[in-house]
Chain A
Amino acid sequence: MIQLKEIEKIYPSRKGTTSVSALTGVDLDIKAGEIFGIIGRSGAGKSTLLRLINGLETPTSGEVWVDGKEMSLLSEKELRHARTKIGIIFQHFNLLWSRTVWENVAFSLEVAGKSKAEIQGKVNELLERVGLSDRAHAYPSQLSGGQKQRVGIARALANNPTVLLCDEATSALDPETTASILQLLRDIHRDMGITMVLITHEMSVVRSICQRVAVMDDGYIIEEGKVSDVFNHPTHPATRQFVRQTEMEEDVQGVGKAITNKALGTVVRVWFRDLPSTWKQLGEESEAKGVHVHVLAGSTKPSEAWTFDLEGSGEGVAGVLDLLRETAVKTEVVTVV
């Protein structure tokens, strides 16, 4: 579906600086219908790589093939048409704030020259798909981050693209919202069989959704393969460091990988204000809501957090979370099943 062949991207020098090599010898073959992740630290070149695919950037040398077409050989008009078949969603959503949700989704159909009747039907269908029908006439400023990204997704899918590019699409969202957006992307992939390319700096995102992954460092693809192979047996030092660092970050958050992997429900970290009284309320509330509370880690020092695994119905867990949010100093949802 997408082939990058011997890509070099060099930003020419400006006054006082030397030229910058953003991508070096990049070869990539992304197959139709797969979810492909590209992971790397900021400045590794993953953004540039993504922007080559929809022609927002052109390579200094090498070829970019998407759906059987070489992007750099397309005329202005052909490129515009090709782009309507490559949806993209962004970290900061990039919605038009002067347009309502409905009009934002209609935008991509308008610029593709669709008729009014066609736009009407398609927009309603898309809003239904992303679960925002009731917010159709709201403006982006009235939406939460997760809702904004849903609008972005609906807009990106409007012209029935064959490829969906995700540019750090969940990096501005909290863990709960990230999980729900990733679920939506998974559903869309299942229903449409669309090819997805995700770039991210979060290993957890790649783990939860991608089938194959490429690791980038300093403009090179240093490792590529099945997600489980790459992360469980990293061969390149930079990948190893990436994996170790991510694990350490998870540990710093007080929840090791081993714990979250075995969790049965929603893992939360709680800093109690008044341990005995909240403890009692927690017991009553969880029993009433039919939620099992498993203690994963705890401390008697007031400044340290407790980690719980809340197992139960979505509604029940939400009820317990509400109680914790009301009474505790801070409540942080780590993972959602």
Chain B
Amino acid sequence: MFNEVDWNLVWQSLGETVYMVGISSVFTALFGIPLGILLVITDKGHIWQQTGLQKAVGAVVNFFRAVPFIVLVLFLFPVAKFLIGTSLGPTAATIPLIAGAAPFYARIVETALREIPWGVVEAARAMGTSRLDVVRKVLLPEATPALVSGLTVTCVTLISFSAMAGVVGGGGLGDAAFRYGFQSFNDGMLYMCGILLVALVFLVQWIGDAITRRLDKR
């Protein structure tokens, strides 16, 4: 069955998927962590209570989480075109990927930070710790294992999102499976792409779990 597989195409698509997921994971963390921090510290009774800001950030996050990913891709075609110059290819696909995953990760970050016992935050405040130091030296380090395991979950989600983005011209394994596998009646190609996607998910999960275990001192 696999003798009809175009290996050059497979490797190229795998590279595109890794590229898309890699770039969007980095930016997802870059946007998701500050958003998650904001959601927590601006909440009522927390270290920087800003009820208006909290509600606004919450609403934006909820909006992006509510729109189905495939619709988000279509919505964001113009944005990708404006930022990247094209709405096709793996680089353009990172725009909806980040827009879809960052709010998702922000909620995970929020949960992770809220799990830190309030007493620890209060102890830090009682020792004269500034707000910035509470975030830098208490919230983030204490939540690091949860942030890493959350990023692993997000990364796995991004892999499946990337396969969908592929179908609308983003490239990568999803695109290859659909166009050169499904539409070309090449079952070998279709299954090979699927197997590689699954393998990628396993690999990411395994690495993520290993890092989380090392970081967790509880």
Contact = CB atoms under 8 A, between A and B. Distances in A.
B117 A111 contact: no
B135 interface: no
B120 interface: yes
B117 to A, nearest CB: 7
Contacts of B122: 56, 94
Chain A interface size, under 10 / 10 to 19 / 20 to 34 / 35 or more = 20 to 34
Given A80-B128, A88-B123, A94-B119, A111 B142 contact: no
Interface stretch (A65-73, A95-103, A178-186): A95-103
Interface residues of B, number: 21
Nearest to A92: B119
Contact of B218 (A92, A97, A155): A97
B30 to A, nearest CB: 22
A112 interface: yes
A228 to B, nearest CB: 32
A162 interface: no
Interface string B123-150: 1111111100100011001101000000
B117 A108 contact: no
Interface in A82-139: 82-84, 86-88, 90, 92, 94-99, 107-108, 110-112, 139
B214 interface: no
A83 B144 CA distance: 27
Nearest to A140: B217
A54 interface: yes
B129 to A, nearest CB: 4
Interface string A135-170: 000011100000000000001100100000000000
A97 B124 CA distance: 13
B137 A111 contact: yes
A236 interface: no
Given A94-B120, A97-B217, A141-B217, A107 B141 contact: no
A207 interface: no
Nearest to A165: B126
B218 A81 contact: no
Nearest to A161: B127
A43 B117 CA distance: 21
Contacts of A96: 120, 138, 141-142
Contacts of A108: 127-128
Interface in B202-218: 215, 217-218
Contact of B217 (A87, A98, A112, A159): A98
Contacts of A112: 127-128
A92 B127 contact: no
Contact of A111 (B119, B129, B141): B129
Interface in B68-90: none
Contacts of A56: 122, 125-126
Interface of A: 54, 56, 79-84, 86-88, 90, 92, 94-99, 107-108, 110-112, 139-141, 155-156, 159
Interface of B: 117, 119-120, 122-130, 133, 137-138, 141-142, 144, 215, 217-218
Given A111-B133, A111-B137, 11 more contacts: A84-B127, A87-B127, A96-B120, A96-B142, A107-B124, A111-B124, A112-B127, A140-B217, A141-B218, A156-B127, A159-B128
6 contacts: A84-B127, A90-B123, A92-B117, A94-B119, A111-B127, A112-B127
